[in-house]
Amino acid sequence: MSEYKVLTAGDTALVVEFGDRVDRKLSTFVLALARRLDESHVEGIVETVPTYRSLMVHYDPLVIGTDALVARIVALMEDSRTVVEQAGREWRLPACYDAELAPDLADVAARTGLTPTQVIERHSAVSYHVYMLGFMPGLAYMGDVPPELVLARRETPRLKIPAGTLAIGTTMTCIFPRESPCGIHLIGRSPVTLWRPQTKAGTGPGALLAPGDKVVFAPISLREYHDLAARAAAGVLEVEPVNAWTGAAA
């Protein structure tokens, strides 16, 4: 059982902290507690939100009090002497690293002492772990970038980048679901739509990726990117987890 502490976050949320760093083992504890709370159907819990190293638990204080919820969390943790990582969905997402869509690829290569081809090879050879969603709907923070590609954020952030941009910064990589400001390095673009709006009733597709998922990037040509991007714009690009469907990613 991992060391942890439970902190209050206002009068309608608790934060269960498992550490102070980005680490896959800590992420395993975070996601395991989220799963246990979901499976326990604790009345009064509204939502759980995983981060790199903690789990925020939103609750209705008129249904369950803070002390009662803390006690339930402690009981769940004590009942779980061993945590085994639960297999998430596995995705193979197409990504184009062509210079036309990768304004920082040459700079990343120069900073790391690699060629652009070597940057692409190293970035696309990793199975990334989705730690959390944040900043905007559908934005998945994925790690861990190979050590030779770890770079500090850009000194001057860009005010606007296109939706689908594939970027790296520190130990993380991500695809930006929509047009956005960005302070990390742009090394490609994916045609896959990572966020599709939900209905007014709160149902529908929502985010493609979820914490605990695994992602591998499959390099594609510029021509393939434009073909897939056109299909995505028309709403006919279907992407399924590779561990639930056999065939290409798109």
Backbone angles phi, psi at 141, to 5 degrees: -90, 115
Q: For residue 30, what are its two tokens? A: 């975070």
pLDDT at residue 250, as a whole number: 39
Q: Per-residue pLDDT tens for 136-151?
A: 999 999 999 999 999 9
pLDDT beyond 80 at 247: no
Burial class (CB in 10 A: 0-12, 13-18, 19+), 46: exposed
The confidence score (pLDDT) of residue 245 equals 41
**Residue range 67-98, pLDDT digits in tens:** 999 999 999 988 765 555 666 899 999 999 99
What residue ranges define each of the domains in the chain, with the CATH number in brackets? 5-78 (3.30.1360.40), 90-233 (2.40.100.10)
Q: Could you tell me the CA-to-CA distances from 54 to 29, 77, 172 in Å, in that order? A: 9, 14, 17
Handedness of CA 147, 164, 47, 86 (dihedral sign): negative
pLDDT at 2 (0 to 100): 67
Q: How far apart are the first and last CA of the chain?
A: 40
Q: How high is the pLDDT of residue 37?
A: 94
pLDDT at 206: 86
* pLDDT over 80 (residue 110): yes
What integer pLDDT is reported at residue 78 of this predicted model? 84
Judged against a pLDDT cut of 70, whether residue 201 lies above it is answered with no
pLDDT of 203 above 70: no
Q: Is 164 left (phi over 0), alpha (psi -120 to 50) or beta?
A: left
Nearest 5°: the CA angle 97, 100, 106 is: 65
Residue 204 has pLDDT above 60, yes or no: no
pLDDT above 90: percentage of residues in the chain: 83
Mean pLDDT of the chain: 91
